[in-house]
């Protein structure tokens, strides 16, 4: 199963970009929140997500928030 690029509207007009992988009969969803030096494109994060999907869990590897600036929405975390 190949994860699909998604754009999820969030608070203050920002959009979260991510890669969503949903397996048939998924028991739950694991959301990857990346810290400094990591991203949804990391081979390690992708390998972990693939193993979780193999075990019946959907995955969302979160990425950048797009849209609003820090000045317009200072309460949002604009990581990486």
Region for 56 from its dihedrals, namely left if φ exceeds 0, alpha if ψ lies in -120 to 50, beta otherwise = left
Q: Judge whether 62 and 8 are in contact, CB under 8 Å.
A: no
In a domain, 27, yes or no: yes
- Give residue for tokens 């990486």: 80
User: Is 90 exceeded by the pLDDT of residue 73?
Assistant: no
Encode pLDDT of 12-63 as tens digits. 778 888 999 999 999 999 988 776 667 777 888 899 999 999 999 999 998 7
User: Is 90 exceeded by the pLDDT of residue 4?
Assistant: yes
Structural domain of 28: 4-66
> How many domains are contained in the chain?
1
Specify the pLDDT at position 36: 65
Q: Judge whether 60 and 15 are in contact, CB under 8 Å.
A: no
Specify the pLDDT at position 54: 96
């Amino acid at each position: 199963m190949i994860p699909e690029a998604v754009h999820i509207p969030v608070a203050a007009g920002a959009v979260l970009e991510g890669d969503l992988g949903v397996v048939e009969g998924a028991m739950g969803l694991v959301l990857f929140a990346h810290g400094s030096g990591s991203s949804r494109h990391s081979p390690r994060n992708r390998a972990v997500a693939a193993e979780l999907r193999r075990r019946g869990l959907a995955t969302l590897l979160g990425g950048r928030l797009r849209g609003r600036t820090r000045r317009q929405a200072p309460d949002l975390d604009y990581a990486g």
